[in-house]
Amino acid sequence: MPTDDVIDLAELRQELIRPGGLWQKVDLVPETGSTNVDLAMRARQGESPGTVLITDYQSAGRGRQGRTWTAPPGSGIAMSILVRPDGIDPSRWTWLSLLAGLAVSDGVRRAADLPAMLKWPNDVLITDRKVCGILSERVDTSEGPACVVGIGINISLAEDELPVPSATSLAIVSRQHLRGSIRAAGPLDGGDASPAAFSRS
């Protein structure tokens, strides 16, 4: 599925970019090797902090300790953000991954109503399975050090597409929660657990 069918770039820019705000530029590419690698290169070439780079297909995504991270095209969202925290020594930037994880957890809970939670230091879990990974990397530029924070979220992967058994996707968890809701609603609705039961007045 093409990226622009999933992500409305114009709407995203309208929502995120504000004068004096944290995000000043949002770019979308149909595919790339790694958004972290691409954005780090752009940072060395003079890209300003506040840039966000998004794709729904990475052919060479990376995790902590050199682990690879891959998913079928159109089944997830990978994004990298370029930041340069003012007045904070780079040795203390380790908390950037934690902040990103908290933001993703909160966003998933609000947008999908799923019980996402942060697992220290850089994973987001739902029902003890990983739905999102985060990788922060320092980049030295002519303007001083900056940080690229990469975020990868499994959106529509099926069980047989998951890279490891401990992973999951929003689609898988959503179906599991729907089935649980239907089972729980059965006794409250006279044993009728059909989806139509939820639309009754």
Tokens for 3?
A: 């990226």
Measured in degrees and rounded to the nearest 5, phi and psi for residue 77 equal: -125, 130
Residue 57's Cα: distance from chain center in Å?
13
According to the model, what pLDDT value does residue 64 have?
Answer: 63
Residues 124 and 169: beta-carbon distance below 8 Å? no
Whether the pLDDT of residue 2 is over 60: the answer is no
Residues 116 and 130: beta-carbon distance below 8 Å? no
Q: Which of 81, 102, 85, 92 is CA-nearest to residue 25? A: 81
pTM of the entire structure?
A: 0.82
- Quick: pLDDT tens for 34-84: 999 999 999 999 999 999 999 999 987 776 656 676 778 888 999 999 999
Angle at 163 between CA 162 and CA 167, to 5 degrees: 65
Q: Rounded to whole angstroms, how far apart are CA atoms 26 and 52? A: 5
According to the model, what pLDDT value does residue 8 have?
Answer: 87
Whether the pLDDT of residue 170 is over 80: the answer is yes
Residues 102 and 121: beta-carbon distance below 8 Å? no
Residue 18: count other Cβ atoms within 10 Å of its Cβ.
10
- Could you state, in order of their start, the residue ranges of all structural domains in the chain? 3-183
Kind plus residue range of the DSSP H or E element containing 55? strand 51-55
3-class DSSP state of 197: helix
Q: Which of 78, 32, 73, 79 is CA-nearest to residue 161? A: 73
At 163, the pLDDT band (50, 70, 90 cuts) reads confident
Q: Which of 201, 178, 177, 198 is CA-nearest to residue 188? A: 198
Q: Would you state the CATH architecture of domain 3-183? A: 2-Layer Sandwich (3.30)
According to the model, what pLDDT value does residue 192 have?
Answer: 41
